[in-house]
Amino acid sequence: MPESYDQTDTNPKFLMDESSTSSIKDKLDSYFSSDHAGLDATERGHNEFPQTTLIIENPIEAERIFSNLMKNAKEEILILFPSTSAIKRQKHFIIDLLHKRRYQKVGISIMSPLDQYIKNLLSFSNKSANKQSKNFLVREIAKPQRLKSTILMVDKRFLLTVELNDDAKQTFIEASGLSTYSTSKPTILSYVSIFDSLWNQAELYENLRITNEKLVESERVEREFINTAAHELRTPTQAIMGYLELDKELFDDLINKKSEMDEHELTKIHNTLHKHHETIFRNATRLENLINNLLDVARIDSHQKNMIMLQKERVDLVKEIKDLINFQLHQKIKNKHIKVNFINDELLNEPYPIHTDKTRLNQILNNLIDNAIKFSEQGGSLDILIYENTKVPNIKKLGDDLNYNPPFNIQSSNLENCEPGQIHIAVSDSGKGINPSILPRIFEKFITDSGAGTGLGLYICKKLVEAMGGKIWAFNNHDGIGSTFVFSLPMSETIT
Query: What CATH number is given to the structural domain containing 43?
Result: 3.30.870.10
Contact 453, 435 (CB under 8 A): no
Residue 496 has a CB neighbour count (10 Å cut-off) of 4
Residue 458 pLDDT class (50, 70, 90 cuts): very high
- Each residue's pLDDT tens digit, 40-82: 433 444 445 567 888 888 999 888 888 888 888 888 999 999 8
Residue 36 above 50 pLDDT? no
Would you say residue 401 has pLDDT above 60?
no
Question: What CATH number is associated with residue 466?
Answer: 3.30.565.10
Residue 496 lies in a domain: no
User: Residue range 229-236: average pLDDT?
Assistant: 81
Residues 350 and 454 placed together within one structural domain of the fold: yes
Q: What digits encode the pLDDT tens for the residues 322-354?
A: 999 998 899 899 999 999 988 876 666 778 888
Residues 365 and 405 in one domain: yes
What's the Cα-to-Cα distance from 338 to each of 270, 335, 373, 439, rounded to whole Å? 32, 8, 8, 24
- Looking at the structure, do residues 479 and 333 belong to the same domain, yes or no? yes
**Phi, psi for residue 428 in degrees, rounded to 5:** -125, 140
Identify whether residues 255 and 350 lie together within a single domain.
no
Please tell me whether residues 73 and 158 are part of one structural domain.
yes
Separation between Cα atoms, residue 182 and residue 56, nearest integer Å: 11
First and final CA of the chain: distance in angstroms?
Answer: 91
pLDDT value at residue 19: 45
The pLDDT tens digits of the residues spanning 190-223 come to 999 999 998 898 888 888 888 898 888 878 877 8
The rounded mean pLDDT for the chain is 78
- The CA distance from 477 to 409, in Å, is 7
pLDDT digits (tens, 9 = 90+) for 120-140: 776 655 555 444 456 778 888
Q: How many CB atoms lie within 10 A of CB 239?
A: 17
Domain count, the chain: 3
Range of the domain at 384: 312-490
Query: Whole-angstrom Cα distance, residue 333 to residue 378?
Result: 10
Residue 350 is given by DSSP the state S
β-bridge pairing 136-140 and 107-112 = parallel
